[in-house]
Chains A and B, each alone.
Chain A
Amino acid sequence: MRNIITVKDMCLWYGEHQALKNVNIEIPEKSITAFIGPSGCGKSTFLKSLNRMNDLIPGVKITGELRYEGADIYAKGVDVNNLRKEIGMVFQKPNPFPMSVYDNVAYGPRTHGISNKLQLDEIVEKALRDAAIWDELKDRLKKNALGLSGGQQQRLCIARALAVQPRILLMDEPTSALDPISTSRIEELVMELKEEYTIVMVTHNMQQAVRVSDYTAFFLLGELVEFGKTDDIFSQPKDKRTEDYITGRFG
């Protein structure tokens, strides 16, 4: 399997505090990689470094090498907007814009210069179908997205992210604010999406990592402790700390 993201010796500081220490990882294409670890271990921070959403936080300093398709993500002159178009993101709390379902999904394509109505209609339908929410929402495209249920809102956010045709989808605990039924629908959806997209997902929930992911990375105190096939990590962890964590001894 080809690696779409490679990270070498990456460190990250928030001011004086070092949040990530020498992270090395290679993320395979068209697969689901889960980041697990206790709160504050740096997994979300690492995720947000991949599409440079950390740029928005003052005082962040990053060293080391992060490459997407071989190109340095943090090189001078990188078009951040284009990078974020290729590497999309779904947030912890569903955050649809306070506008119609249609406008939510069409927001990204419009940003990137598509204004033809027919073309937009097509993109919106495809994105909503891909996010498995077309049947529920096709008659409510003009309704305000804030009126949807939490689970629907999150799938709408996934559709919105898919509408700009990213290669990678970063998901930051996408189900932590949802009920169990919505959670399982999102999990099913994510497993379908890996046919076309690379999914990188932060999760608090180890069962979720086992259920959906192909690869798992375990973070602890800013270190990437162990990374490998999900089956291996959970059946025969190499590191004592990983074993302690997955058997529930802390965290």
Chain B
Amino acid sequence: MFLMMGLIAVGCVLLITVYLLISGVPAICEIGPINFLFGTKWASTAAEPKYGILPFVLTSIYGTAGAILLGVPIGFMSAVYLSKLASPRLKSVMQSAVSLLAGIPSVVYGLVGMLVLVPGIRKLFNVPDGASLFAAIIVLAIMILPSIIKMSVTALDAVPKEYEDASLALGARPIETYFRVSVPAAKSGIAAAVVLGVGRAIGEAMAVMMVAGNVPNMPDSLFQSVRFLTTAVSSEMAYSSGLQRQALFSIALVLFVFIMLINAVLNFLLKREKE
């Protein structure tokens, strides 16, 4: 009975993997892997359709990298503060706030981004449209904060107090102790937190659809309206047919491979943390 229940989850993963492979591979073969992955133009509904997904791949990579660049320093510093410096009361208040941030549905992030961030960017940088890669990066950076903070705090809390005592007893200042002893001792946990953040960012669809402009441009500039891998699938699925529909499955397959890779890295890091 319990085994059966467990098998349901495993079965779903297998089913999704097989289904994605079956429905994603034909279009890649028909379009040609090179044309598909490295084609710079996506025009699925044109008279002479083009199915190049490089704009989406690059947008997803740039968007995720940007979110990490912005979110990791903030998340990491918050985690050090919460784990080592904050008073127990402040820590519990801030941790509940962070959990709450994690619980906000992504459509709400998108909505707030659309109403506040997008006009803000338009005014601040004087660009024609604020819905851009930059807006998406900011929203993603905020969205990945909770997972980065929570996991880093857990890793930092787990550093044996003896290490810190030893450092303080040598005359090191507390801050120095946290950065030279505690953080290195928690480094694989923190690295895992970053990878988890990458996974969250690359898989997010709803919020980025609402703030990134959702136009299949090459991401040449921060203020370009762009489309992510996730949103490429969701925005055309409703009306697609034939090769276009198959190509959408191929995009999903590419995304799936990305996320599998990230998970493999995450598992590797967590395993090392245990040792």
Instruction: Name A's B-contacting residues (CB within 8 A).
Output: 51, 53, 56, 81-85, 88-89, 91, 93, 95-99, 107-108, 111-112, 157, 160-161, 164
A97→B170 contact, CB < 8 A:
no
Q: Report the separation of the CA atoms of residues A111 and B171 in the bound assembly, to the nearest whole angstrom.
A: 8
B166→A98 contact, CB < 8 A:
no
- Closest chain-A Cβ to B164's Cβ sits at a distance in Å of 9
Q: Report the separation of the CA atoms of residues A83 and B180 in the bound assembly, to the nearest whole angstrom.
A: 20
Interface of B is mostly: helix
A84→B180 contact, CB < 8 A:
no
A84→B162 contact, CB < 8 A:
no
| B170: contacting residue among A93, A96, A98, A164, CB under 8 A | A164
Chain B positions within 8 Å of A99 at CB level: 184
B170→A88 contact, CB < 8 A:
yes
* B173: interface (CB < 8 Å): yes
A84→B171 contact, CB < 8 A:
yes
Q: What size tier do the contact residues of chain B reach?
A: 10 to 19
A81→B171 contact, CB < 8 A:
yes
B165→A97 contact, CB < 8 A:
no
Instruction: Name B's A-contacting residues (CB within 8 A).
Output: 160, 162-163, 165-173, 176, 180-181, 184-185
A-B contact pairs, 13 of them (CB 8 A): A53-B168, A84-B168, A84-B171, A91-B162, A91-B166, A91-B169, A93-B162, A95-B163, A98-B185, A107-B170, A111-B176, A160-B166, A161-B169
Q: Report the separation of the CA atoms of residues A53 and B165 in the bound assembly, to the nearest whole angstrom.
A: 8
* 6 closest residue pairs by CB, A with B: A85-B171, A95-B162, A89-B169, A108-B170, A84-B171, A81-B171
- Closest chain-A Cβ to B162's Cβ sits at a distance in Å of 4
- Closest chain-B Cβ to A77's Cβ sits at a distance in Å of 16
B168→A56 contact, CB < 8 A:
yes
- Closest chain-A Cβ to B271's Cβ sits at a distance in Å of 17
B170→A85 contact, CB < 8 A:
yes
Closest B residue by C-beta to A110: B180
Chain A positions within 8 Å of B166 at CB level: 91, 95-97, 157, 160
Q: Report the separation of the CA atoms of residues A164 and B172 in the bound assembly, to the nearest whole angstrom.
A: 11
B172→A98 contact, CB < 8 A:
no
- Closest chain-B Cβ to A238's Cβ sits at a distance in Å of 34
Chain B positions within 8 Å of A160 at CB level: 166, 170
Q: Report the separation of the CA atoms of residues A108 and B170 in the bound assembly, to the nearest whole angstrom.
A: 6
Q: Report the separation of the CA atoms of residues A129 and B173 in the bound assembly, to the nearest whole angstrom.
A: 27
Most interface-central of B162, B170, B172 (chain A CB within 10 A) = B170
B184→A91 contact, CB < 8 A:
no
A164→B184 contact, CB < 8 A:
no
Closest A residue by C-beta to B170: A108
